[in-house]
Amino acid sequence: MARSLMQRCLAVLALAAIVSADRFSDQFDLVGSGGDVQVKDDGNTQEVALIMNRGSGGAGFSSKDKYLYGEFSVQMKLIGGNSAGTVTSLYLTSGEGDGHDEIDIEFCGNLSGDPYMMNTNVWASGDGKKEHQFYLWFDPTADFHTYKIVWNPKNIIFQVDDVPVRTFKKYDDLPYPSSKPMTVHATLWDGSFWATRKGSIKIDWNQAPFVVNYRAYSSNGCVNNGGSSACPAGSNAWMNRELNTKELGTVAWAEKNYMSYNYCADGWRFPQGFPAECSRD
């Protein structure tokens, strides 16, 4: 009887939908050493700076909770100046295994004066290589901007300052992140081997320290720490959200004017044919 009651309690806990405030220390474990992570707190709002120096290995934070679907957003101010070779991210992942799920927003650093590149990607049961990359239409190093991931059973939506730039749809016969709870992560690391001009431009450590700032984190999601593969109805703000005609127009605008890479147009990468979803979107 006691065990049955405990199991029921854990099931309820695993399915609880929550809305999180923007206090990082309440929701995240900060990963770094020494001065690699700095937290500013005015009593109401926290701001986290991730700092990378030569040999520091980068820094980051990861959520204490796991989620199965939700809406996740944060304001970021990216590294200014020559940031070539650096990678800054906001992403969700179920782990490191071959069959993992993952939803990525990554920012690849640049040489001074070059545009910043935002990489979006989706992994489902270890099936990845689904990148859409965009040059941003503003300077993301001059001020904070909001980046958001909406993940529900119908689609994944990527937004920049409330402007949808990509949607990744679910098809019943194709892999989609739908059963593995994921933690939220943010990182700053050395991606010299691939980040800037396909790895041809490396980090100039004379420009260190490299600093990226995060603030105003918000999550409205289905907390799933008990391993259940189910989720309650959730908030209509995200659980059933799909892009309307106007929002699909902003995706088309972003693709036309700012897209720098689309995996569905990379015949060299897929000589045996494009992934199946490419012919359905």
**Phi, psi values for residue 27, rounded to 5°:** -120, -20
Q: Quick one: CA torsion of 212, 23, 58, 83, rounded to 10 degrees? A: -10
**Which residue spans within 25-101 are E strands per DSSP?**
28-31, 37-41, 46-52, 59-77, 86-93
Residue 153 — φ and ψ, nearest 5°?
A: -70, -10
The token duo for 21 is 């405030």
Taking the C-alpha atoms of residue 104 and residue 211, their distance in angstroms, rounded to an integer, is 20
List Cβ neighbours of 95 (8 Å cut-off, separation of 6 or more).
180
CA torsion 119→197→138→165, rounded to 10°?
A: -30
Q: Annotated catalytic, 71?
A: no
The question of whether 255 is a catalytic residue gets the answer: no
**CA gap 189, 194 in Å, rounded:** 12
Q: Which of 47, 106, 247, 255 is catalytic?
A: 106
Question: Catalytic residue among 102, 131, 242, 247, which?
Answer: 102
Q: Are 106 and 186 in contact (CB under 8 A)?
A: no
Cα gap 270→148, rounded to integer Å: 29
Burial (Cβ within 10 Å: 0-12, 13-18, ≥19) of residue 175? buried
N- to C-terminal Cα separation, the chain: 50
Q: Which residues are marked as active site?
A: 102, 106
